[in-house]
A and B are shown apart, each in its own frame.
Chain A
Amino acid sequence: MKRVDAHFYLRIVVRLVLGFLFLYASLDKIIYPGKFAEVIYNYRILPVELLNICAIVVPWIEAFIGVSLLLGIWIETSAFMLSGITVFFIVMIISAIARGLDIECGCFSLDAEGSLVSWKRVIEDVFILAGGVYLLICHSSEKR
């Protein structure tokens, strides 16, 4: 009888939850790149000229990660990209908090009533990052 890995079910749950989260987070931004560019602008980090191209590309990277994780393909690559992009989000949010910016996070939706940058958002992202790193470690050790 095949021995089931202790992490087998946890890995599936983490993969599906993260996949759903990333796909969901990308939809609004893909449909309204202009609005997402405004959200990025409010962070005052990127040069003005690059706002639109980031608003066009980043949501599709999120969607790619989401679809890959949901379908269970390219998991290692997706987990790596997820971890990288989440670290970037965490740095953006912490820098906004440090500068006292009271701006929309743009994390999951572009709704004007959406959540503002806060430590709660940082903690959420740390959990997402932990999930990404967990998937990365599991799949990397499996391939060794």
Chain B
Amino acid sequence: MDLSRRTISILKQSVPAVFVVSIFAVIFNGLSPNSVPLITPYRIVTIGDNLTKIPVFQTRDQMHTYELKNNLHPPEEIDLETAYKHFRNYTAIFIDTRSVEDYRSGHISRAVSIPLEALDFSREVLPELSRNERIIAYCDGEDCTQSIDLAVRLSEIGFNDVYFFFGGWTEWQNAGYPASIGDIP
């Protein structure tokens, strides 16, 4: 009896405390240079037959910088054969979003290594690439989503012909398509 009374009493103190702290947190976020929107913005990406919401992690400043580009074509999934066709014809740049160690142990030939965590919005990303370049991002295979995340982020910063190859390294390797080992060619 006493215990439940104490629990209710602590709850009565905790709920207003959480409420006040939350209000303070929201105000602080509004004033912070790294503030983010309260509701996470997202892009809807088609993966197979499903529509998946991919969050866009940008500060308000970054969103303002890129808001004019929001009408760009969102990234799309690409299958193995189409990816290979682009590889053969040199019509796309492949980006390996896995860790540098994974990249070194084997990757799609001519692919560039950009681990997802290395993508930094505070700096110019891929300065040597035209924003109209066709880009195909990939990771390990269907168990990973870094390729989708990176594709969405690249489209957010102005790349307008971005694809994610969901089959990834696993499917490419199983098909016996050209692969390389070691650092960037």
Q: Measuring CB to CB, which residues of chain A are less than 8 angstroms from any residue of chain B?
A: 30-35, 37-38, 41, 48-53, 55-57, 59-61, 64, 74, 76-77, 80-81, 84, 112, 136, 140, 143-144
Task: Give the residue among A38, A56, A64, A143 with the most B Cβ atoms within 10 A.
Answer: A56
Task: Give the residue among A37, A52, A80, A136 with the most B Cβ atoms within 10 A.
Answer: A52
Smallest Cβ-Cβ distance to A33: which chain B residue: B36
**20 extra interchain contacts, Cβ-Cβ under 8 A, other than A48-B40, A48-B55, A60-B28?**
A33-B36, A37-B57, A41-B57, A49-B40, A52-B39, A53-B38, A53-B40, A56-B38, A57-B25, A60-B24, A61-B21, A64-B21, A74-B13, A74-B17, A76-B10, A77-B13, A81-B17, A84-B14, A140-B6, A144-B2
- Known A64-B17, A74-B17, A80-B14; contact A30-B28, beta-carbon cutoff 8 A: yes
Main secondary structure of the interface of A (DSSP, over half): helix
Chain A residues closer than 8 Å to B38, beta-carbon distance:
52-53, 56
Chain A residues closer than 8 Å to B55, beta-carbon distance:
37, 41, 48, 51
By size class, the interface of chain B is 20 to 34
B29 contacts A by Cβ under 8 Å: yes
Cα A80 to Cα B12 with chains together (Å): 11
Distance between A48 CB and nearest chain B CB, rounded to angstroms: 4
Smallest Cβ-Cβ distance to A68: which chain B residue: B17
B184 contacts A by Cβ under 8 Å: no
B17 close to A57 (CB less than 8 A): no
Q: Measuring CB to CB, which residues of chain B are less than 8 angstroms from any residue of chain A?
A: 2, 6, 10-11, 13-14, 17-18, 21-22, 24-26, 28-29, 32, 34-40, 42, 53-55, 57-59, 117
B34 close to A56 (CB less than 8 A): no
Nearest first, the 9 A-B pairs at minimum CB distance are A60-B25, A52-B40, A77-B13, A51-B40, A48-B53, A80-B10, A56-B29, A52-B36, A64-B21
Smallest Cβ-Cβ distance to A60: which chain B residue: B25
22 contacts between A and B (CB under 8 A): A30-B28, A31-B32, A33-B36, A34-B36, A34-B57, A34-B59, A41-B55, A41-B57, A48-B42, A51-B55, A52-B38, A53-B38, A56-B26, A57-B25, A61-B18, A61-B22, A74-B17, A77-B13, A77-B17, A80-B11, A84-B14, A136-B10
B14 close to A38 (CB less than 8 A): no
Chain A residues closer than 8 Å to B34, beta-carbon distance:
31-34
Chain B residues closer than 8 Å to A60, beta-carbon distance:
21-22, 24-25, 28
Chain B residues closer than 8 Å to A74, beta-carbon distance:
13, 17
A56 close to B25 (CB less than 8 A): yes
A56 close to B42 (CB less than 8 A): no
B26 close to A49 (CB less than 8 A): no
